[in-house]
Structure formats: structure tokens, C-alpha cells
Amino acid sequence: MSVTNKIVIVGAGAAGLACAISSATSGADVTLVEKTPYLGGTVAHSLVHTIGGLYDDVGDYINGGLPVQLAARLLEADSRTCKRQMGKLWVLSVDPAIYEQVIEEWIGQYPNISVLRNASPGEIHVGGKNKDRVTHLDVIVGGDESGLNQLPTHALVDTTGGADVVRRIAANKFTSGDALAGLIFQIRGVVPNAFRFPKNVAIQRAVQKAAEAGDLPNILRKTWFDIGIHEDEIYAKASLLTHAYDETIL
């Protein structure tokens, strides 16, 4: 296959996976580069159990194609997967482990998608008449320079979420700042339906007041509670600035 059909995608979260599948479906030769051993990004590995952006305010699909295919695969893979309403929003509730399983199987169906795991981008090589095109990307596998792969590419796509590749090309275009991070806890053994909307809102307010009064840790002031896919399961989602994280706050 010619270099004009080679696509390198860095980051195997939702955006990277969608790009890989759509490119491979169009006949491109795709290399998917992921810094961890696993595919799936935050949904699979950060306990994000609700997938938003699939449905409009009445629960119909906003877009066809891959979003509908993804939902169909998840619904088929696990009977506990379900579409549900959260206030004015509709989301798809899913077990993160099932999501990872479905993604791995889906990507595995494309022989023209190669996956490099435990891999990170290295030097970016440019060329062309005006030195304005990326011709190759060095990828380091396993953190060892001996595992260097030089990938020729017609198109390089950065779906890392932190612009890890773009920063190497145009670092002067970025300014430093703080990102809001999520600290998520999966809790089992809860009384069934005790946290089902809108009960979770009332509980959140009570917890917030207790934290403000000093009766609970301060981190609980901004913690949201949501039901999981098991009857006795909830997810507690705390928000904090990344630089403020300290395990002693727990």
C-alpha cells in the first residue's frame, strides 16, 4: 500500500478509535498508537460508565454511522447496558469492562489496523516542498529507544486529549493552565434505587452541606452521585484541579 494511504493516529480513546475505524473502512492502512496496554481511553479505564452525545433531548440518535453501531454493539454485548434519562439528557449506561471488550473486538475485525501499545510519540519528521508536511513519526514502544518504530504517514492525527503530538510541532501555540480532573469511585452494596434521579440530587446537597460544615472531607463539596448498571451500584464523581490532588485528602 502506498504512503498516501497510511494514517497514524495517536491516542486510542473514543476519538482515536472512531478515526481508526472510519479510516480503515475507507481502505486506509492505519496504525493506532496508545500509551497504555489497553484501548478505550477514559470510558474503559477511568470508570466513565455513561456515554453522552449519542442522543437528543427526546432520546433519538443525533448522528448515524459509528455512534449507532457502537451503541448496538454495547447493547448486544450486555443486557445491563441501557439508554436512560438523566434530567433533560439521555445517556447510554455501560459497564466500562464491557466497553473495553467491545472495542477490542471491533478493532480486531480490521486487518488494516495495527495497534502499538505502551507506545509514545517521538521525533516528528517533516518534508515536502515547503517543509510543511509530516512524512514520518518516530514511535517508542515500551519506553525503550531500542523499540523505536519509524512510521511513514500521509496523515497524522492527534487524539491524545492533551495535544501530545501537536505540542511537539507548535509548542508556542499553547499556554499553561489547570485542568479540572475527575476522581471517580465505584461503590457496591448500596440500597437499590436509593440514588436514582432525583434522589441523588438531594443526597448530593446533603453531602455538600456536611462537607461545608466540616463533618465530611472537603472534596465531597463537589461530588456527584449516579447509579451504575447493577442495582446496588453507584458512582461517586469528585471534581478537583489536578495540581490540588493529594491522596491524603481522602
We report the CATH number of the domain holding residue 164 as 3.50.50.60
Could you tell me if 119 and 16 lie in one domain? Answer: yes
Burial 21-47 (b: 16+ CB within 10 A, else e): bebbeeebbbbbbbbeeebbbebbbeb
Query: What is the β-pairing status of strands 6-10 and 155-158?
Result: parallel
23 located within any domain:
yes
Residue 144 covered by a domain: yes
Query: Angle between the 66-77 and 14-25 helix axes, to the nearest 10 degrees?
Result: 110
Tell me if 79 is assigned to some domain: no
The whole-number pLDDT of residue 1 equals 45
How many other C-beta atoms lie within 10 A of the C-beta of residue 135?
17
The pLDDT of residue 57? 93
Domain boundary at 112, 139, 172, which? 172
158 and 189 share one domain: no
Q: Would you say residue 54 lies in a domain?
A: no
Phi, psi angle pair for 9, to nearest 5°: -120, 125
**Do residues 157 and 115 share a domain?**
yes
Closest CA to 47 of 158, 191, 188, 165: 188
Inter-residue contact 230 to 193 (CB < 8 Å):
no
Instruction: Please tell me the chain's helix, strand, coil percentages from 3-state DSSP, rounded to the nearest 5.
Output: 30, 30, 40
Q: Are both 151 and 36 inside the same structural domain?
A: yes
Q: Say yes or no: 107 and 32 in one domain.
A: yes
The whole-number pLDDT of residue 87 equals 81
Residue 247 pLDDT: 58
CA atoms within 13 A on the CB side of 136: 9
Please check whether residues 106 and 227 belong to one and the same domain.
no
pTM for the structure as a whole: 0.88
Q: Does any domain span residue 90?
A: no
Give the pLDDT score at 105.
Answer: 98
Tell the residue number behind the cell numbers 467491545, with chain if given.
Answer: 102
Give the pLDDT score at 8. Answer: 97
Domain's final residue, options 121, 149, 172: 172
Q: Are 122 and 42 members of one domain?
A: yes
Query: Quick one: which of 224, 221, 232 has its CA closest to 187?
Result: 232
CA gap 89, 119 in Å, rounded: 36
Domain identity same for 100 and 43: yes
Domain that holds residue 152: 3-49+95-172
Residue 108's SS3 state is: helix
- In this structure, the answer to whether residues 163 and 214 fall within a common structural domain is no
Within-domain flag for 193:
yes
Residue whose C-alpha is closest to residue 30's, from 113, 93, 118: 113
Does a structural domain hold residue 234?
Answer: yes
Which of 172, 205, 231 is the last residue before a domain boundary?
172
Mark whether 142 and 228 lie in a shared domain. no
CA distance 12 to 114: 12
3-class secondary-structure state, position 181? strand
CA–CA gap between residue 14 and residue 5 (Å, rounded): 22
**Residue 15 is assigned to a structural domain of this protein:** yes
Are residues 215 and 101 part of one domain? no
Please give the pLDDT value at position 229. Answer: 92
Q: Are residues 18 and 114 in the same domain?
A: yes
- In a structure prediction context, what are the per-residue pLDDT tens digits for the chain, which is 250 residues long? 455 689 999 999 999 999 999 999 999 999 999 999 999 999 998 889 999 999 999 999 999 999 999 999 999 999 999 999 988 899 999 999 999 999 999 999 999 999 999 999 999 998 877 778 899 999 999 877 667 889 999 999 999 988 889 888 887 877 777 667 778 999 999 999 899 888 988 999 999 999 999 999 888 888 889 999 999 999 998 887 666 666 555 5
Number of domains in the chain: 2
